[in-house]
Amino acid sequence: MLKKRLIVCLLWNNGVIVQSVHFRHTNAVGNALTAVDFFHTWTVDEIIVLDVSRIEADRSNFYQMIRELSRRCFIPLTVGGKIKTVEDMRELFRNGADKIAINTEAVRNPNLITEGAHMYGGQAIVVSIDAKKTEEQTHEVCIQNGSAATGLLAPEWAKTAEERGAGEIFLTSIDCDGSLQGYDIALVRSVSEAVHIPVIASGGVGEWQHFVDGIMQGKADAVSAANIFHFSEQSTRKAKDYMLSHGIDVRKPAYYTVQTPRYPEYKV
Amino acid sequence: MIALIDYNMGNLQSVVNAFQLLREDMRVTQNPEDVRKADAIVLPGVGAFGDGMKNLDKLGLIPVLQEEVRERKKPFLGICLGMQLAAREGTEHGIHQGLGWLDGRVERIEPGPSSYKIPHMGWNNLFVKKDTGLFSGIEDAVYYFVHSYSFCPAPGEEESVAATCWHGKEVVAAVEKENIFGVQFHPEKSQGAGLKLLENFLSAVFPMAYA
């Protein structure tokens, strides 16, 4: 049986990994490579890295970081943020990404999903959706780091993305992000029930039980978090232990270390 | 030296990373001469069956693969599409002829109940049928899969199946037939269990060095 997945989301802001509350970046966590080494050792199932920098800077730093990161990451690696063209996708795949996530540009130009899926296969194209609750209790899709409302409803947009060839939906609740109150279950469930492709729930995890809720009540195929995994020892491993003991079939946690190359290399 | 064939079917970087971690000398190549000189051949790849065969053909790699793998019995590892291409034929977007080392067809997975999503994507546990080759010493055989098509052995070829998994129906996850090894999942993305499997393949190639 296919297992449910636990995914770490790393937010990369101009060279440092940060935490996020309602899409505002708060404290710096540290270096991406160190973070990946730890989560890799604690048997997380997948890693998502999003470039959330607000300034438009030279992308070469980001590409270099992804390349170094992929050399020590022997689990699937999804990369997103600021992807506008299939050339941007190619550059990321060339640097070691296994899947890419598109958000704002997918809404502006849905054809990008189709083009990407055609070139790299649907399984490699993740459509990331940021949604905000409306007064009518529906969920509206927002783009540009959650700052611009689009008028699209999350389940409908997810369905369109699927028809366009997306292989997966990464779904974040803007209201719940950083709240520690758990996922927006209504949102997760409405999208999971609307599409046939896997849905990754994101935004709001404050305790391990929220992962169980996301899968049991939200019907998500995978659960993701960012903030909660930083600053506690063996976080993802403990989360998996909890999920297993609450009847969720996940890959068993075990220590796994690889002797990865150091960067930069020091000559002695 | 291990030849990793680059036939423009997806990203090879993660396979390169995995072999580098195992400190194995490898060459990413499109050159038939490298394939001839190599101690073993790895064929990775993501994409459609027909495109894969077309690209191998365009690069003039099919005759050298037939010669080295089928006749000279050089160790071969196919990963994902690379394993599927070893079959007699594929049915993705029309019928295409494969390399023909395994008797059977590559067909779309049609799981029974609709709760099984296609593509089959994520970590799945295997039912290992041969635990002396690729899976030797692996206790928790859980691997990362991404595919919509799978190899269906013809009657008589079931012997070659080394492991299966369950996705609404039994799906072939790995094959072992003499010098031909194939895995439907991605060992390079399956952490400890995957790297151990690649090491087992290398120990079949270089029995002395990896004993």
pLDDT of A243-263, one tens digit each?
999 999 999 887 777 766 555
What residue type is B176 in one-letter code?
Answer: E
- Asked whether residue A95 is assigned to any structural domain, the reply reads yes
Bridge partners (DSSP) listed for residue B127? B164
Q: How far is CA B142 from CA A17, A166, A252, B138, in A?
A: 30, 25, 9, 10
- The model carries a pTM of 0.91
Q: Per-residue pLDDT for A266 more than 70?
A: no
Residue window 167-226, chain A: list those with CB within 8 Å of chain B.
Answer: 167-168, 196-198, 221-222
Q: What is the ipTM of this complex?
A: 0.87
Query: B119 to chain A: nearest residue by CA?
Result: A123
Q: Quick check: helix, strand or coil at residue A249? A: coil
Residue A267 predicted with pLDDT over 80: no
**Active site residues per annotation of B:** 80, 186, 188
A263 part of a folded domain:
no
Q: Which residues of B touch A222 (CB under 8 A)?
A: 122
Does residue A78 fall inside a structural domain?
yes
Answer whether residue A83 shows pLDDT above 90. Answer: yes
Residues in chain B closer than 8 A to A93 (CB atoms): 11, 13
Q: Decide which of A59 and B143 is more confident.
A: B143
pLDDT at A116: 92
Q: How many domains does chain A have?
A: 1
- Is the CB of residue B188 less than 8 Å away from at least one CB of chain A? yes
A121-160 pLDDT, tens digit per residue, is: 888 999 999 999 999 999 999 999 889 999 999 999 999 9
Domain contains A266:
no
Residues of B whose CB is below 8 A from A259: 21
Task: State which residues form the domain around A94.
Answer: 5-245
Contact A212, A235 (CB under 8 A): no
Domains and CATH numbers, chain B: 2-205 (3.40.50.880)
Residue A134 placed within a domain: yes
Lowest-confidence segment of A24-33, B19-28, B50-59 by average pLDDT: A24-33
Report the CATH number that the domain containing residue A36 is assigned in CATH. 3.20.20.70
Q: Count of H helices and E strands in chain B?
A: 6, 13
**B75: cis peptide before it, omega within 30°?**
no
Model pLDDT, residue A259: 65
A91 touches chain B (CB under 8 A): no
Q: Does B121 touch chain A (CB under 8 A)?
A: yes
Q: In the 8-state DSSP scheme, what is residue A253? A: P
Q: Between A150 and B119, name the one with better pLDDT.
A: A150
Mind listing the pLDDT tens digit for each residue in B27-40? 999 999 999 999 99
Burial B73-84 (b: 16+ CB within 10 A, else e): ebbbbbbbbbbb
Question: How high is the pLDDT of residue B198?
Answer: 96
Q: How many CB atoms lie within 10 A of CB B36?
A: 14
Rounded CA separation B9/A117 (Å): 13
Would A126 be classed as within a structural domain?
yes
* A254 lies in some domain: no
Q: Alpha-carbon distance B188 to A258, whole Å?
A: 13
Q: What is the mean pLDDT of chain A?
A: 90
Which residues of A fall within a CB distance of 8 Å from B121? 2, 123, 167-168, 198
Residue type, A176: C
The pLDDT tens digits of the residues spanning B84-106 come to: 999 999 998 889 999 999 999 99
pLDDT of residue B119: 85
For an interface test with B, the pick among A251, A259, A262 (most B C-beta atoms closer than 10 Å) comes out as A251
A75:B142 CB<8 A? no
The reply to whether B8 touches chain A by the CB within 8 Å rule is no
Residue A106 pLDDT greater than 80, yes or no: yes
